Structures are given as structure tokens and as C-alpha cells.
A and B are shown apart, each in its own frame.
Chain A
Amino acid sequence: MKATTATSPDSRVSPMLVRLADERATGALLRDHGTLYLSEGRVVHAESPTAPGIDTLLTTGGRLPRDGWQRAVDEAGARREVGRFLVDSGRIGGGELEICHLGALYDAAFFALAPGSGPTRFRYGVAHWIGPVRPVSAAAVERETRRRRELLDQVWPYPAVDTAPVTPRPPAPGQSLTRRQRALLELADGVRTPAAIAWALGRPAFHTLLEVRRLAAAGLVDTPPEPPPDARPARPVLPAWIGEITADPDIALLRRLRDALEASL
């Protein structure tokens, strides 16, 4: 398994990400399953419709009241400093924010960089409203994404469990569940997928996938049969957030327009 992953063309997670990091680009890297935000070539944030965002992680467990989060976005969102505002206003510790933010960043990046997720575009100059928290190198994001893929397959090489509704199976005599597994399985109602459970728990989606694969390996969750390769949906439908991103004005274009208008006056 190790040998094939090291030599396959897939071992480069995203050649475009590497190139953008080399040219120290700033902007948003848009893919079908998520967005990576770069600042001078370093990854400052990532979002994916699969992965719960930092707002969900912080508010679901009760760390931040929902309105406290909303106030931070209202007050500091426009100047793209929500992260710093949360710390400066005493709503959250600096370390806690960094831990939570890094967790959300690597989690969303894992899904955003999923293989075969369609065309990749880059919008120069776009910044995220969370602002700088703890930028990481693109190489670190690539390496971690690759490691996570291998980790899932080492635990239980059946990717069908990642997207199917989680169906618990009764524990064998002598088998026990951990507290975190119990919390996860209590939400497994035969409808929720691992990602839906992650949102409900306020826990990173990859962590939930990994836990579900561990549970499946232990026989505590059903492993659905793998679909034959040609039966998989060829292209996923475009997620709704693409509309939101493209509605965002292109700052560089607006500046050029303003300069041109001013010059003609």
C-alpha cells in the first residue's frame, strides 16, 4: 500500500497549490469540495461544505454562545479580523482559537483537496473574514492531507463507510465503547452520514470519518458494499457555496475599475 501511494501520480495532492505557494500568491483556491485561502503562499484558512466550520466547532459544544460569535463577525468581519477580535475581546483564549482553527483548517483542506474533485480555479486577492490566526505552509497541508488518506485506508480500506448512513451493530460480548464512540453512535440513526454526525457533535469531519472506520473495523458499524467503479456518480452537483464565492466582488477588479474611472474624470 505504501509503495503504490508513493509512486502514483495522486501523491501530488494539488500541483496548483504547490505552484501558488512557490509564487507566494494571495487569494482563494476554489475546488468542488472546498476552498483554500492563501496569504503570501501560506495557507491561512480552509472551508469545505463537508467539514464543520470554526463557528460550528466553537458554538456547538457551548464554548461560545451563538450570538457572541455573530457579534464578532458583525464587528470585525468587514475588516477581516474576526479571529483577533475573539481573542482581544476576551471571548476565547489565543491558544484555544489556534487549536480550533488549525483543526478546522486541516479538516476542510482534506476535503477540499480530495482527488478528482473537478477543475481548480484561483481568485487572486481574496481574503477570508476570519483573518490571520496561524498560517501553515502549503507543503504541510499537502503532507497532512496525504497522510490522512493513507491513515483511513490503514484503519479500514473501505471508503464506502465515509459517505453511507452510519448503521450501528450490537457489540460482541466483552466489546466496549469509548465515551467518544458512544457520543458518535448515539447520533447514528440510520440516516446521518459521518459528516452529518460531525456537524451535530461540533467535531471535525475527518475525525468522525476516522472514528467510523475504526468502528467499522471493529464490527461495531456496518460496512456497506463498495459500489462498482463505473456506478459512481461521475460528477457531483456544484455545491451552493460556489454561488456565494462568485458573488463576492473581486477586489482587484474593483480597484482597477475605480482607478480607470478616476483617471477619466
Chain B
Amino acid sequence: MPGIDACLHEIMALPGARGAAIVDWTSGLALGTAGESPNGDHETTATETAELARAAAEYPAFARDAERARPPAEPTAGEAKGPPVEDLIVTTRTGYHVLRFVETTFDSSVFLHLWLDRDTGNLALARLRLQQLAERLVLA
């Protein structure tokens, strides 16, 4: 049951990790940050990545897809809350940005952001690790 800082610490332990943050996508607030920021300013980066995450979480194109994939017989209580998108990956010339949504059982809008070096980072590993950490972050 790690807190925000322990979670960020583990993200930064990934090979090629340059920076990480936990961001609220409704307000654009960075709840915690570690390492570098591509803008040189974690707050600015948080507001920018939050806009991207909000678009992904809210555009019907992605939401409908997730709703169709779910068997209609099981409208489980947990699924009615969390965003339908699991993660977002943005590839730049020098790096990857992975945005992983965190599902909480209370009403929230939070994601993890990892900035990964393209040469030294391992995208597949980072995706899996972010998924585990997003789950552990909210585990009692």
C-alpha cells in the first residue's frame, strides 16, 4: 500500500524514466511529481497532459468502444465509475509519454504520467509496471 511518493519512486526506478507525475485530469493539478519535466515545469506539464487525458476519457469515440466491449449483462458497480480508457501512449522523436488512468472507488479523475527516454526505455515493461502501480496505489 504505497503512498504517492513511494509510487513515484517506483516509477522512476524503471529503465529510461526521465520524469513522473500523478495528475488530476479535471483540474490539471499535479498531486505529486518526480524527476524532470519536458517543459522544465511540472505544473505546466500537468495542465497539458490533463487536457489530453480528459479528451481521451470523455470523447465518445473511446467511451463507446469500452461500453460495447463489456457484456451488457454485467453492469458492475465498479465499472460505472472509472474512465473507460486504460492508458494513452504518445511517441515523440526522443521519448514516450505513458498516461495511465487510476481507478479509485470514490469519485476522482487521476492518472499517472511517465516520461520515458526512447533509447533506454522499455515501453512494454513501463506499461505493465504502470498498470500494477496504478492498482497498488489504491489498494488497502
Contacts and interface: CB of A to CB of B under 8 A. Distances in A.
Q: Do A and B bind each other?
A: yes
Interface of A: 57-58, 60-63, 87, 90-96, 98-100, 102-103, 106, 134, 143-144, 147-148, 151, 176, 178-180, 201-204, 206-207, 210-211
Contacts of A180: 58, 109
A144 B109 CA distance: 17
Contacts, number: 99
B135 to A, nearest CB: 10
A61 to B, nearest CB: 4
Interface of B: 1-4, 6-7, 22, 24, 26-29, 31-32, 43, 47, 57-58, 60, 63, 77, 81, 102, 104-110, 136-140
Contacts of A151: 27-28
A207 B26 contact: yes
A103 B139 contact: no
A204 B109 CA distance: 11
A87 B7 CA distance: 16
Contacts of A103: 24, 31, 108
A2 B108 CA distance: 29
Contacts of A204: 26-27
Contact of B29 (A95, A96, A106): A106
Contacts of B102: 99
A87 B77 CA distance: 23
23 contacts: A57-B107, A60-B106, A63-B106, A90-B140, A93-B137, A93-B138, A93-B140, A94-B1, A96-B106, A98-B32, A99-B4, A99-B102, A99-B104, A99-B110, A103-B24, A176-B60, A178-B63, A201-B107, A202-B107, A203-B107, A206-B27, A207-B26, A211-B26
